[in-house]
């Protein structure tokens, strides 16, 4: 027996959706949700005054058997008077004179479903249904009434469910095939690597018991397959319903895809989808989801379900190329198609933000959780800074002025933006007296009220002004920024600091999430089990704390699977890279790089803490040794194509050694795989500290209360960068190479204890055998 559970709203919005994709919506803003709630409360109170028997938010459920499928639909009717009527309430800014009975067919479908569920339970022959619209500007309502018989509503509900069952049956057929294949699935390699079975067993145990596992697993163990294999086995055994494989970088998505293909090639039927950003799959020259500008947005919902059914019948996985092909065939938006196909995927490979970011997370899965999810968080060390970004929000006076200038001729926009700008002027005056910066805990209620006023004005603007004009984009940009700011303000807790800063006439205000722990704990509650893994979760206590580890969660630290002698780690403690000594280090660093590259012909990388430091040393190196080697120096802001071109340099045939000068924490210091002879040595200058900044100092001040300020702000993030950079050298059991650390601080106990055990004791570079 297959159990299918779905809400009334979800089945209606899937089966009966129609029309165009609308690019901008207020649906996700806290202001809009608050206004919608206000509309419901107002109507419900008025009804209760009219009739004391009026009941609000009444839960209804309907269950029916279709062959081997038990189908359950449930939801809450906004209001009812038993034996008399059921009501659905909707809020709108559309003038009520423009709202007719057919204003939105989905709303009628929703209340019709509730009507049938009530009649089925109470065995009545007919029912009065009310659909009430409440205008948020005028606070006036308009109600439409229809009477239906039991047979009419039963026919409607039966047809709706049978339509949906087409997709359910295809999905159920697939899941039966999947589960049978996964029962027989064996580990896809002949042997486990050292530590690999241990990791896979711990992952599987966590998936069955629930909770979180923090796993530090060095390069070479095979983390991706060691987490994915037990996860798909858990799905086949009914321990979970869906896997989310979460990455911080696009290159890691490819690694996950390759691991799934290995499982599929060994007979494991797993249907997977990689969510690609809208910009990368758009079939137009530019992303513009206005149905007047995009043929794929126009009428998208009229065609999308036929497209999905065709795919379910014919395809066993969802590649980007396949999605684009069907999108062209059915003339639908490929990005929206991929999101719909996620419903019918066993494994979803996507960026962190689709699960963690409150602005773009997949609400279809996480607003009303009805399944057991598995979160596999790859390179979890990246989640610290990414979560700080995702849970922070920023507004500037310049944004406001640009939008105000663009909306000058719309009086309601001009009025609201003048008020917002006035708030920024007040902040600037205070900052001028305080040296240009200040930070504090909390969010100004006056600012929040003023921003909400702008959102109300913006919604009127969206309804009334459909044509494009110069500057419209600036108004939209401010809308998204304000919407984000208000969303984050709703999350504001003890882990936040608000700071203000002025630069000339501009003013910045930021809600800065310093300590995302509690917010991440809430997100992880959406999953049955979460596995956070990386080669560089060091120190474990730091990542366990910041990323939401709780008392019942598990920790695992594994040693390197490679022979210790394969990687020789040296230290030149005579190099002092601290700021006041930096210039004195240039010559010694240049000489060390020369010695490293001269030792054996091959490819090397020299990593630096900043572009300026790198250029200063590079200049000296080229002057002294440039004729003896081939070199490359990293440029900032490289695109994906340029990045691939640089990586190809490590595979070129050469007569001389090649050395690349690169930046720690950049695109080449992690997430790239230079196996074998592609890279045989790396030097790391400094201890990897992030750049000193106002935000870093706010982090330091915040954690100073636990005497961990400098560690959390600088030392631990810095060491992670060092470990990631050094990890580029040894990628397989046959690789051999060296790492040269250049900074006297590695000989200090507080730094040395953060290094991998297999690196110790560090070899003295001055005594190396050339």
Q: Please give the helix or strand (H or E) that residue 321 lies within, else none.
A: helix 320-330
Q: Quick one: how far is CA 287 from the chain centroid?
A: 20
**Which of 32-41, 523-532, 605-614 is predicted least confidently?**
32-41
| Higher per-residue pLDDT: 460 or 570 | 570
Q: 673 and 602 in one domain?
A: yes
Length of the chain: 770
DSSP code of residue 318: B
| Rounded Cα distance, 410 and 421, in Å | 16
Kindly state whether residue 60 falls inside one of the protein's structural domains. Answer: yes
The answer for residues whose C-beta is within 8 angstroms of residue 756's C-beta and 6 or more apart is: 218, 538, 560, 723
Per-residue pLDDT at 608: 97
pLDDT digits (tens, 9 = 90+) for 147-197: 999 999 999 999 999 999 999 999 989 999 999 999 989 999 988 888 899
pLDDT at 647 over 50: yes
Q: 549 and 477 in one domain?
A: no
User: With pLDDT > 90 as the criterion, what percentage of the chain qualifies?
Assistant: 76
Q: How many helices (H) and strands (E) does the chain have?
A: 27, 24
Q: 367 and 459 in one domain?
A: no
Q: Omega of the bond prior to 750 within 30 degrees of 0, cis?
A: no
pLDDT digits (tens, 9 = 90+) for 296-335: 999 999 999 999 999 999 998 899 999 999 999 999 999 9
Alpha helices of 572-652 — where are they, by DSSP H?
A: 582-599, 611-625, 640-648
User: With pLDDT > 70 as the criterion, what percentage of the chain qualifies?
Assistant: 98
DSSP code of residue 316: S
pLDDT at 66 over 90: no
Choose among 287, 299, 228: nearest CA to 257: 228
Q: What is the CATH number of the domain that holds 160?
A: 3.90.320.10
CB atoms closer than 10 angstroms to residue 420: 22
Q: 614 and 692 in one domain?
A: yes
| Rounded Cα distance, 279 and 262, in Å | 29
Final residue belonging to a domain, choices 138, 166, 194: 166
Q: In the 3-class helix/strand/coil scheme, how is 531-584 assigned residue by residue?
A: EEEECCCCCHHHHHHHCCCCCCCEEEECCCCCCHHHEEEEEECCCCCCHHHHHH
- Please give the sequence-ordered ranges of beta strands (E in DSSP) within 103-230, or none if there are none: 126-135, 141-149, 211-216
pLDDT digits (tens, 9 = 90+) for 12-53: 999 999 999 875 433 344 455 666 787 889 999 999 999 999
Per-residue pLDDT at 769: 56
Q: 410 and 345 in one domain?
A: no
396: confidence class by pLDDT, cuts 50, 70, 90? very high
Query: Count of alpha carbons within 13 Å of 110, Cβ hemisphere only?
Result: 23
What is the four-CA torsion angle of 354, 359, 360, 361, rounded to 10 degrees? 40
Kindly state whether residue 176 falls inside one of the protein's structural domains. Answer: no
Per-residue pLDDT at 28: 44
Residue 525 main-chain phi, psi, to 5 deg: -65, -15
CB atoms closer than 10 angstroms to residue 54: 20
Q: What is the mean pLDDT of the chain?
A: 92
Per-residue pLDDT at 25: 39
Q: 317 and 227 in one domain?
A: yes
pLDDT at 609 over 80: yes
753: confidence class by pLDDT, cuts 50, 70, 90? very high
Q: What is the CATH number of the domain that holds 189?
A: 3.40.50.300
Final residue belonging to a domain, choices 513, 543, 573: 513
- Please give the sequence-ordered ranges of beta strands (E in DSSP) within 115-203, or none if there are none: 126-135, 141-149
Kindly state whether residue 171 falls inside one of the protein's structural domains. Answer: no
Q: 70 and 45 in one domain?
A: yes
Q: Taking the alpha carbons of 664, 657, 535, 258 in that order, is the dihedral positive or negative?
A: positive
pLDDT at 675 over 60: yes
pLDDT at 717 over 60: yes
Q: Between the CA of residue 111 and those of 108, 120, 570, what are the distances in Å?
A: 5, 14, 72
* Angle value at C-alpha 598, between 592 and 602, nearest 5 degrees: 115
Q: 444 and 355 in one domain?
A: no
pLDDT digits (tens, 9 = 90+) for 116-161: 999 999 999 999 999 999 988 788 999 999 999 999 999 999 999 9
Beta bridge partners of 568: 738
Q: 398 and 370 in one domain?
A: no
Residue 530 main-chain phi, psi, to 5 deg: -135, 135
pLDDT digits (tens, 9 = 90+) for 463-522: 788 787 888 899 999 999 999 999 999 999 999 999 999 988 999 999 999 999 999 999
Kindly state whether residue 291 falls inside one of the protein's structural domains. Answer: yes
Choose among 607, 592, 611, 623: nearest CA to 725: 607
Beta bridge partners of 715: none
Kindly state whether residue 456 falls inside one of the protein's structural domains. Answer: yes
Choose among 684, 618, 682: nearest CA to 650: 682
Strands 347-351 and 211-216: what pairing? unpaired
| Rounded Cα distance, 757 and 27, in Å | 52
Q: Please give the helix or strand (H or E) that residue 89 lies within, else none.
A: strand 85-92
Q: 544 and 432 in one domain?
A: no
Question: What range defines the domain where residue 594 resides?
Answer: 564-767
pLDDT digits (tens, 9 = 90+) for 550-598: 999 999 999 888 888 899 999 999 999 998 999 999 999 999 999 999 9
Per-residue pLDDT at 369: 81
Choose among 215, 534, 227: nearest CA to 382: 534
Kindly state whether residue 174 falls inside one of the protein's structural domains. Answer: no
Per-residue pLDDT at 755: 95
pLDDT at 693 over 90: yes
Q: 75 and 121 in one domain?
A: yes
Q: In the 3-class helix/strand/coil scheme, how is 499-531 assigned residue by residue?
A: EEEEECCEEEEEEEECCCHHHHHHHHCCCCEEE
In the numeric block, which tokens belong to residue 81?
């008077």
Q: In the 3-class helix/strand/coil scheme, how is 665-709 assigned residue by residue?
A: CCCCCCCCCCCHHHCCEEEEECCCCCCCCHHHHHHHHHHHHHCCH
Helix (H, G, I), strand (E, B) or coil at 129: strand
Q: 730 and 638 in one domain?
A: yes
| Higher per-residue pLDDT: 675 or 403 | 403
pLDDT digits (tens, 9 = 90+) for 69-113: 888 999 999 999 998 999 999 988 788 998 999 889 999 999 999
Q: What is the CATH number of the domain that holds 478?
A: 1.10.275
| Higher per-residue pLDDT: 561 or 699 | 699
Per-residue pLDDT at 26: 37
| Rounded Cα distance, 130 and 46, in Å | 14
pTM to 2 decimals? 0.91
Number of domains in the chain: 4
Beta bridge partners of 2: 69
Final residue belonging to a domain, choices 166, 201, 233: 166
Q: Between the CA of residue 328 and those of 15, 289, 370, 654, 691, what are the distances in Å?
A: 22, 16, 33, 45, 46
Per-residue pLDDT at 94: 81
Kindly state whether residue 158 falls inside one of the protein's structural domains. Answer: yes
| Rounded Cα distance, 459 and 466, in Å | 12
């Amino acid at each position: 027996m297959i159990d299918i559970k779905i809400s009334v709203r979800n089945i209606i919005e899937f089966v009966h959706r129609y029309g165009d994709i609308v690019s901008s919506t207020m649906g996700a803003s806290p202001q809009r949700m608050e206004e919608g709630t206000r509309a419901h409360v107002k109507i419900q109170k008025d009804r209760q005054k009219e009739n004391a028997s009026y009941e609000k938010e009444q839960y209804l459920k309907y269950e029916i058997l279709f062959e081997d499928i038990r189908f359950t639909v449930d939801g809450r009717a906004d209001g009812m008077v038993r034996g008399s009527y059921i009501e659905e309430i909707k809020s709108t800014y559309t003038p009520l004179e423009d709202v007719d009975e057919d204003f939105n067919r989905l709303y009628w479908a929703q209340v019709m479903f509730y009507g049938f569920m009530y009649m089925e339970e109470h065995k009545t022959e007919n029912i009065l249904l009310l659909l009430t619209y409440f205008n948020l500007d005028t606070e006036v309502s308009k109600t439409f009434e229809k009477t239906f018989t039991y047979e009419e509503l039963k026919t409607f509900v039966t047809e709706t469910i049978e339509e949906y069952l087409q997709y359910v049956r295809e999905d159920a057929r697939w899941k039966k095939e999947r589960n049978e294949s996964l029962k027989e699935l064996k580990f896809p390699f002949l042997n486990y690597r050292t530590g690999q079975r241990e990791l896979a067993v711990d992952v599987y145990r966590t998936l069955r018991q629930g909770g979180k596992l923090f796993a530090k697993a060095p390069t070479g163990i095979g983390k991706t397959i060691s987490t994915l294999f037990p996860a798909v086995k858990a799905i086949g055994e009914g321990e979970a319903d869906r896997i989310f494989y979460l990455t911080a970088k696009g290159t890691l998505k490819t690694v996950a895809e390759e691991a799934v293909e290995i499982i599929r090639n060994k007979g494991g039927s797993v249907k997977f989808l990689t969510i690609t950003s809208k910009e990368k799959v758009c079939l137009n020259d530019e992303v513009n989801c206005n149905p007047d500008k995009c043929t794929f947005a126009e009428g998208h919902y009229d065609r999308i379900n036929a497209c999905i059914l065709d795919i379910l019948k014919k395809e066993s996985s969802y590649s980007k190329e396949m999605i684009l092909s069907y999108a062209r065939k059915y003339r639908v938006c490929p990005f929206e198609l991929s999101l719909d196909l996620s419903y019918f995927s066993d494994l979803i490979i996507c960026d962190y933000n689709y699960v963690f970011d409150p602005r773009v997370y997949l609400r279809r899965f996480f607003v009303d959780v009805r399944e057991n999810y598995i979160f596999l968080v790859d390179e979890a060390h990246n989640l610290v800074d990414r979560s700080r970004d995702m849970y922070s929000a920023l507004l500037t006076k310049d944004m406001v002025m640009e939008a105000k200038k663009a909306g000058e001729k719309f009086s309601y926009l001009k009025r609201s933006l003048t008020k917002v700008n006035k708030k920024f002027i007040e902040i600037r005056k205070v900052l001028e007296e305080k040296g240009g910066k200040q930070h504090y805990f909390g969010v100004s209620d006056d600012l929040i009220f003023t921003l909400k006023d702008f959102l109300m004005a913006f919604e009127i603007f969206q309804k009334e002004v459909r044509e494009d004009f110069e500057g419209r984009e600036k108004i939209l940009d401010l809308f998204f920024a304000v919407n984000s700011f208000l969303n984050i303000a709703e999350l504001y807790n003890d882990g936040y600091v608000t700071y203000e800063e002025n630069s000339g006439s501009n003013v910045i205000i930021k809600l800065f999430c310093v300590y995302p722990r509690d917010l991440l704990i809430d997100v992880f509650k959406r999953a049955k089990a979460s596995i956070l893994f990386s080669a560089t979760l060091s120190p474990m206590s730091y990542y366990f704390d910041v990323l939401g580890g709780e008392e019942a969660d598990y920790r695992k630290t594994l040693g390197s699977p490679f022979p210790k002698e394969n990687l020789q780690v040296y230290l030149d403690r005579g190099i002092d890279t601290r700021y006041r000594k930096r210039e004195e280090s240039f010559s010694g660093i240049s000489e060390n790089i020369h010695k490293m590259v001269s030792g054996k012909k091959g490819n090397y990388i020299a990593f630096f803490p900043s572009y300026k430091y790198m250029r200063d040393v590079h200049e000296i190196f080229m002057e002294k040794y440039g004729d003896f080697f081939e070199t490359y120096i990293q440029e900032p802001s490289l695109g994906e194509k340029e990045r691939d071109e640089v990586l190809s340099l490590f595979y070129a045939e050469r007569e001389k050694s090649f050395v690349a000068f690169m930046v720690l924490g950049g695109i080449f210091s992690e997430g790239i795989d230079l196996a074998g002879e592609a890279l045989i040595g790396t030097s790391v200058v400094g201890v990897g500290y992030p750049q000193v900044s106002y935000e870093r100092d706010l982090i330091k001040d915040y954690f100073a209360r636990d005497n961990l300020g400098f560690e959390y702000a600088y030392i631990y993030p810095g060491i992670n960068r060092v470990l990631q950079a050094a990890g580029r050298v040894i990628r397989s059991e046959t690789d051999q190479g060296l790492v040269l650390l250049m900074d006297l601080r590695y000989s200090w106990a507080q730094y040395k204890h953060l290094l991998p055990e297999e690196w110790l004791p560090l070899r003295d570079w001055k005594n190396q055998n050339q």
